[in-house]
Amino acid sequence: MEQINGARDGSSFSPLEINGRQEHAILTDELDSVDKQRLFLGGERQLYPNSLSSREMESLTALCDTFLPSIDVSDATTNASLVAFYRTSASMAGTPQRVGGLISERLKHPKLWLMRLALWFLSTWIGSFILCGRASLSSQFPYFHSFPQMSQQKREEILLSWSLSYFYLLRMLFKTMKLLTFLVFFTEVNEKNENLSWKAIDYTGPDPEFITKTKEFKASTTIGNQRPNNEEQNACPHEEELFGPLNRGIINLDKPKDLVVDALSTFGIPASVLHSEKTVNCSSNPSLTIRCDAVVIGSGSGGGVVAGVLAKAGYKVVVIEKGNYHARKNLTLLEGPAMDQMYLSSGLIATDDMGVFVLAGSTVGGGSAINWSASIRTPQHVIKEWCNDHELELFDSKLYQEALDVVCEKMGVQSQVQEEGFNNAILRKGCQELGYPVNNIPRNSPPNHYCGWCCFGCKDGRKRGTTETWLVDLVNSGNGAILTGCEAIKVLHKRKKGRRDRNTATGVAFEFEHGGGKEIGFVESKVTIVACGALCTPKLLKRSGLKNVNIGENLHLHPVAMAWGYFPDSQVFDGWPEREKKSYEGGIMTAMSTVVAEFNKSGYGAVIQTPALHPGMFSVVMPWVSGKDIKHRMSRFSRTAHVFALARDKGSGTVNAPPDSISYEMEALDENNLKIGLEKSLRILAAAGAEDIGTHHFKGKGLHVKKANLDEFERFVKEESSRPLRELSSAICSAHQMGSCRMGVDSKQSVVNQMGETWEVEGLFVADTSVFPTALGVNPMVTVQAIAYCTSQSILQVLRRKKFFKYKEPASKQPVTVDSDQSPEENDQLCRCCQIRRRKLNRFMRFFPLQLQYHTNHLLRKSFR
């Protein structure tokens, strides 16, 4: 499939390809292609195919140009890049075509058809009259105008009226079109990986230090020119730096299947291939079957922990991950490609009513690979609530405390910060001026980790997400592998003999791309762990036939409302705020205020933190009142700080499937907490010395703090923080999803028990944020890891009881028993001659259907004894 920002490459070397002396040759040969394919994906980007009709495109182009028109400012400034930025409209930059591609290929929203209908309507005069009202009328012939025929001024008025329309479908249309137009315009790059607006808005693009170091690294390894000639070395010394520490455990199923089987066998994981072409795509006849002790679906914060713990304990573990592996020097650090390739649905997920814009990771490492590194332990009042009100003793147990310690140690969590970035320094200063409490945020990165690009992956592995910790345990143990680009489509479960009450999980069916088509594979396992995150886990369970009514319910989103403050670099007093600091640089989260968190009272309030906003996301959240106004706001991008309030939501939603959709509603209390948080945020920004402050309300009002008197200031703060949140110019943001398969002590009220096992299917565990009993109120990574750690202890007990096979020898030395369901222990009992005969027969049996293979294997096993 063609992509807007480069193909989803995901190519990686199987372990066998980089073994022994051949390694250097292959690796260095490949480095050049890796350089072209992966290091700089942005420059190689292609468009998603655009299937919009010419009528739809006509309206879409008019809409994009209304948001971002061409404006001549050559009279007002001599700054050439600023002039060029103002002069370039969305259509001049090719934005509508790309947006058309996204609408055609990537956007998956239940109301997408309505948007396309609206585009078609707008291309006709009658449809424009229906959607735009009197504004589409003219006193001159032909009296009725379609949307593209109207003047820029009229179109701007119409968009503004939609943004505050009584009809929520018009508000949705406005928010969706604004999001797509801005996200594409400010993230699209040319072949040099540059965007025409970046210079004007003072954005460097990907971390310049990273780019320089990558170039130096390339030069030092003389990629494509000289090859390292030290024949003694078994591994390329730069492999880890270049491809990340998991490279040897990543298996790409687009490779020839025999290679995949061989690669899996090096981890002691048997697999079999069905060579029949006819039945390959039939879900009852997988083209590949893998056998292991445990299959973990999703490699994020929860899945990573379980996979690492089980593999380290000696069990054979297969991780199924629908995203690809991007690590260290494989990263682009470009906002567009990173969102496209590392975020769930390219970062384009919203609730049904477009009220909340939802971000989640979808790559090896899941959210932990792209998150903002805040690593906060489960607050005591939450532990108390989950223990007392929800009767979940787990949270009051020694095991849970130990789990918190273990995961924090593993991630290297610490609270020091050597140098604070722009946003956090402003939050801290504002709080100090006002006497609000402000604390350092513990992070899973070292004190000197001054990087604002971690939201696009960690360039040097110093942010210790699961790709740098638990999944490394998995790979280094030699007991596990990660299958990337594989989407689990169904958990397999069946009624076992002697069990009347519930089914037992037997593995998972997954879909993968092979040879340009889709194929089905099975993993057969003793235990199945679903860790797809709170948005995807309920969908998978529902698709797998689970009937528990709580699946998908109780979804919490930690809604966020933001305020902004502008700190011009010309207005620096006593070195504050430092002139050279930019809004997008530095540790993303280092300071936090609990001034309205209510930790000691109800426990339901809001914490105040700061976001990472690169130009795409910054433009999406900023209010739009006119084309000129947004360009002005964007020109102040690098010195506009953001502070947000994040509510611990009592309100909840539902993940529906099928059709896939998310509904969500805040409670009045949540909205009130956000408003109070917004009020405090405005005060913090002003106290820190902002020249202008404002919120994301559609009217886009700002206050020049220095010129306002106290009354005016108080009125402004009160007015802006008391408006209904549905009047924001963009959707509310959420990066934390939880609770959609909650843990409980009653199967009627919950989906999993305290062991993390589903009430409905034995041997089926859930280990992600979906098991949270309620919203958490702080950043969830540490909590989900701690719960997953406890769940993995329960799984270990189950596995021990099952006496499943454990390989005796280290993985690399094991005989490969492809197509065999015989354990190594059993194999050892055979004489050498029988072992060889058996292996030959197994190879021969590959050509028969799987069912037959298993029956024969069973018989063989008996006869060989």
CB of 496 to ligand FAD, least distance (A): 25
Supply 727's token pair. Answer: 């009047």
736 assigned to active site: yes
Residue that has been written with the tokens 């001659």 in this structure: 833
Site for ligand FAD in 819-858 (CB under 6 A): none
By three-state DSSP, how is residue 526 classified?
A: strand
Q: Which stretch binds ligand FAD (CB under 6 A): 281-289, 314-322, 387-395, 682-690?
A: 314-322
CB of 361 to ligand FAD, least distance (A): 5
Write down the catalytic residue from 493, 514, 736, 855: 736
In the bound state with ligand FAD, the residue whose beta carbon lies nearer, of 121 and 186, is 186
- Do the beta carbons of residue 862 and residue 856 sit within 8 Å? no
Site membership for ligand FAD, residue 492 (CB under 6 A): no
Helix axes 422-434, 668-687, angle to 10 degrees: 90
Please say whether the dihedral angle defined by the alpha carbons of residues 427, 433, 434 and 435, taken in this order, is positive or negative.
Answer: positive
CB of 528 to ligand FAD, least distance (A): 12
In the bound state with ligand FAD, the residue whose beta carbon lies nearer, of 145 and 736, is 736
Among 781, 787, 811, 845, binds ligand FAD (CB under 6 A): 781
In the bound state with ligand FAD, the residue whose beta carbon lies nearer, of 368 and 525, is 368
CB of 347 to ligand FAD, least distance (A): 9
Site membership for ligand FAD, residue 359 (CB under 6 A): yes
Site for ligand FAD in 289-308 (CB under 6 A): 297-303
Site membership for ligand FAD, residue 438 (CB under 6 A): no
In the bound state with ligand FAD, the residue whose beta carbon lies nearer, of 303 and 689, is 303
CB of 779 to ligand FAD, least distance (A): 3
Contact partners, residue 416, CB within 8 Å, separation at least 6: 440, 447
Rounded CA-CA distance 808/210 in Å is: 43
561, amino acid identity? A
Site membership for ligand FAD, residue 768 (CB under 6 A): yes
Rounded CA-CA distance 410/768 in Å is: 18
By three-state DSSP, how is residue 459 classified?
A: coil
Q: Which stretch binds ligand FAD (CB under 6 A): 237-245, 371-379, 385-393, 474-482?
A: 371-379
Residue of 512, 541, 508, 511 whose CA lies nearest to 522:
508
Contact partners, residue 752, CB within 8 Å, separation at least 6: 741, 742, 743, 744, 758, 759, 765, 766, 771
In the bound state with ligand FAD, the residue whose beta carbon lies nearer, of 119 and 733, is 733
Among 488, 529, 617, 775, binds ligand FAD (CB under 6 A): 488
- Do the beta carbons of residue 341 and residue 41 sit within 8 Å? yes
Site for ligand FAD in 671-700 (CB under 6 A): none
In the bound state with ligand FAD, the residue whose beta carbon lies nearer, of 372 and 716, is 372
Among 249, 361, 485, 603, binds ligand FAD (CB under 6 A): 361
Q: Which stretch binds ligand FAD (CB under 6 A): 109-117, 196-204, 247-255, 525-533?
A: 525-533
Among 323, 480, 623, 739, binds ligand FAD (CB under 6 A): 323
CB of 739 to ligand FAD, least distance (A): 11
Residue 186: CA count within 13 A, CB half-sphere: 31
Among 242, 280, 360, 676, binds ligand FAD (CB under 6 A): 360
Site membership for ligand FAD, residue 372 (CB under 6 A): yes
φ, ψ dihedrals at 630, nearest 5°: -70, -35
709 to 738: interface string for ligand FAD, x by CB under 6 A: --------------------------xx--
CB of 865 to ligand FAD, least distance (A): 39
Residue of 345, 297, 295 whose CA lies nearest to 321:
297
Rounded CA-CA distance 356/379 in Å is: 25
Site membership for ligand FAD, residue 371 (CB under 6 A): yes
SS3 of 262-273: HHHHCCCCCEEE
Rounded CA-CA distance 331/325 in Å is: 10
With 0-12 / 13-18 / 19 or more C-beta atoms within 10 angstroms meaning exposed / middle / buried, residue 570 is exposed
404, amino acid identity? L
In the bound state with ligand FAD, the residue whose beta carbon lies nearer, of 536 and 796, is 536
In the bound state with ligand FAD, the residue whose beta carbon lies nearer, of 725 and 735, is 735
DSSP 769-821: GGG-SS--SS--HHHHHHHHHHHHHHHHHHHHHHT----SS-GGG----TT--
Q: How many residues bind ligand FAD (CB under 6 A)?
A: 42
In the bound state with ligand FAD, the residue whose beta carbon lies nearer, of 11 and 301, is 301
Closest residue to ligand FAD, judged by C-beta, is 300
Site for ligand FAD in 137-196 (CB under 6 A): none
**If you count DSSP H runs as helices and E runs as strands, how many of each does the chain have, helices first?**
27, 22
Residue of 790, 795, 785 whose CA lies nearest to 762:
795
In the bound state with ligand FAD, the residue whose beta carbon lies nearer, of 484 and 654, is 484
Q: Which stretch binds ligand FAD (CB under 6 A): 1-9, 33-41, 188-196, 369-377?
A: 369-377
Site membership for ligand FAD, residue 519 (CB under 6 A): no
By three-state DSSP, how is residue 15 classified?
A: helix
DSSP character at residue 738:
B
Per-residue buried b or exposed e for 493-530, using 16+ beta carbons within 10 Å of the residue's own CB: beeeeeeeeebbbbbbbbbbbbeeeebbbbbbbbbbbb
Rounded CA-CA distance 197/807 in Å is: 57
Among 368, 610, 652, 817, binds ligand FAD (CB under 6 A): 368
Q: Which stretch binds ligand FAD (CB under 6 A): 139-147, 372-380, 639-647, 751-759?
A: 372-380
Among 64, 260, 370, 382, binds ligand FAD (CB under 6 A): 370
Contact partners, residue 49, CB within 8 Å, separation at least 6: 2, 101, 104, 105
Rounded CA-CA distance 483/567 in Å is: 47
Rounded CA-CA distance 818/742 in Å is: 39
Omega before 142 within 30 of 0, i.e. cis: yes
CB of 369 to ligand FAD, least distance (A): 8
Strand pairing category for 288-297 and 517-530: parallel
Among 320, 482, 655, 818, binds ligand FAD (CB under 6 A): 320
In the bound state with ligand FAD, the residue whose beta carbon lies nearer, of 264 and 370, is 370
In the bound state with ligand FAD, the residue whose beta carbon lies nearer, of 595 and 617, is 617
Site for ligand FAD in 588-607 (CB under 6 A): 589
CB of 784 to ligand FAD, least distance (A): 5
Q: Which stretch binds ligand FAD (CB under 6 A): 368-376, 390-398, 575-583, 697-705?
A: 368-376
Residue that has been written with the tokens 């230090």 in this structure: 209
Residue of 253, 368, 359 whose CA lies nearest to 301:
368
Strand pairing category for 761-762 and 503-514: parallel
CB of 103 to ligand FAD, least distance (A): 23
In the bound state with ligand FAD, the residue whose beta carbon lies nearer, of 523 and 687, is 523
Site membership for ligand FAD, residue 367 (CB under 6 A): yes
Supply 601's token pair. Answer: 């009272």
Among 321, 670, 757, 760, binds ligand FAD (CB under 6 A): 321
- Do the beta carbons of residue 560 and residue 617 sit within 8 Å? no
Q: Where are the alpha helices (DSSP H) in 532-664?
A: 533-543, 615-621, 627-635
Q: Which stretch binds ligand FAD (CB under 6 A): 14-22, 132-140, 360-368, 515-523?
A: 360-368
Site for ligand FAD in 526-555 (CB under 6 A): 531-534, 536, 540
Residue that has been written with the tokens 């350089």 in this structure: 35
Q: What is the binding site for ligand FAD (CB under 6 A)?
A: 297-303, 320-323, 359-363, 366-368, 370-374, 455, 487-488, 531-534, 536, 540, 589, 735-736, 768-769, 779-781, 784
Q: Which residues are catalytic?
A: 736
